[in-house]
Amino acid sequence: MSSYDRKQDEVRRMLGASRPALPPGLTARAAGRGRRILRRRRRLRTAGWVLLALAVCAFCVWAALVRPWVASPAQTPPLVWDR
């Protein structure tokens, strides 16, 4: 018998064997865990969007007050050449 035939027989035995009984309440626990995971992800996503919105608002306020696009006035007078 080749190794391929042995592996195939082993797989057939594994698939043909009776499956072990699941513990009671396993589906309810799994569903509850899934709901908690989804709720946590939703909260994190909401918190991320809120932080992004706050950062955009803070940047807009800073830009309105500082106006970085306006050139600052020169602190020294220009040089004048008298010749």
CB within 8 Å of 40: residues ≥ 6 apart? none
Range of the domain at 44: 28-63
> For position 39, what pLDDT does the model report?
98
Question: What's residue 68's pLDDT?
Answer: 85
Q: SS3 of 28, please?
A: helix
Tokens representing 76 are 């020294």
Domain-located, residue 46: yes
Into how many domains does the chain fold? 1
pLDDT computed for residue 18 by the predictor: 83
pLDDT at 70: 85
Question: Residue 12 to residues 2, 3, 16, 69: CA-CA distances in angstroms?
Answer: 16, 14, 6, 74
Does residue 36 belong to any structural domain of this protein? yes
Question: 6 in a domain, yes or no?
Answer: no
CA angle 11/14/16 to nearest 5° reads 105
As averages over each run of 10 residues, the pLDDT of the chain (83 residues) reads 86 85 93 98 98 98 91 74 69
Predicted pLDDT at 83: 63
Question: pLDDT (tens digit, 9 = 90+) per residue, 6-21?
Answer: 999 998 888 888 888 8
Question: Looking at residue 34, what is its pLDDT?
Answer: 97
